[in-house]
Amino acid sequence: MYYTMRIPLVILKYDISARTDFSIGMQGVPGLAFNYKNYVQSENDFDRRTYIIQLQNKTIYFGYNVWANTGIKYDQIQFKESRRAFENYKLSTIFVNILLARIINEIISATKAQSHKE
């Protein structure tokens, strides 16, 4: 398959504190969209725009790294072929994500201490 993708990205991040930041991301900026061009099947050609605004916080809680973010995402795909116009869409999403991860240094230390006891 012969195709090209032009994916302009812009990310702006502002640190509110050491653990909290606000960011805006754009994949496909106004006037210069994410562009997919298929040289074999031109009916698959489309432009896409995705915008995200989010607030993120990171902290440590009872030995776990906790990342939480919330924001709004806007996504739009527009096919260039008129007969695929029914597949065009615009989607807005409000999201909240919370991720937990055990702090790896504690796990490594506990594993080493356990192996020395045996």
At 11-51, the pLDDT tens digits run 999 999 999 999 999 998 878 889 999 998 888 899 999 99
Tokens describing residue 35: 């562009």
CA count, 13 A, side-chain hemisphere, 77? 12
- Mean pLDDT of the chain, nearest integer: 87
42-60 as b/e, with b when 16 or more CB fall inside 10 Å? eebbbbbbbbbebebeeee
* Angstrom distance (rounded) from CA 74 to CA 92: 4
Sketch the domain layout of the chain as residue ranges: 3-117
* Angstrom distance (rounded) from CA 8 to CA 32: 7
* Entry pTM: 0.73
